[in-house]
Amino acid sequence: MVLIAEAASLLHVTKSAFVADAARQAAQKVIARSDVTLMAPEVSDVMMASLDMPDESTELAALSKLPRLIGR
């Protein structure tokens, strides 16, 4: 706790404010990392190419022919 008190004192803030700010910064880093997906370039290329290929889905085709419940 001495380390936290010393750091808070150097910044002229309370220990509570120092800890809250550190926790907020850590939370922002965690959330920012959750928005990023890391993968090998080869995997990324395959994934991106797959987006251009239509998926053969008889179930989806049948569903698309059903009457719409919500009008445009």
What DSSP character marks residue 62?
H
Average pLDDT over every residue of 50-66: 88
- Cα atoms found within 13 Å of the Cα of residue 27, Cβ hemisphere only: 6
What three-state secondary structure class fits 40?
coil
The DSSP secondary-structure symbol of 69 reads S
pLDDT of residue 37: 85
Per-residue pLDDT at 71 exceeds 80? no
* pLDDT at res. 14: 97
Instruction: Give counts: helices (H), strands (E), the chain.
Output: 4, 0
pLDDT at residue 70, as a whole number: 84
- Structural domain spans, the chain: 2-64
Quick one: residue 21, left, alpha or beta (phi over 0 = left, psi -120 to 50 = alpha)? alpha
Whole-model pTM? Answer: 0.51
Q: What is the pLDDT of residues 1-55, one digit of tens each?
A: 899 999 999 999 999 999 999 999 999 999 988 888 889 999 999 999 999 888 8
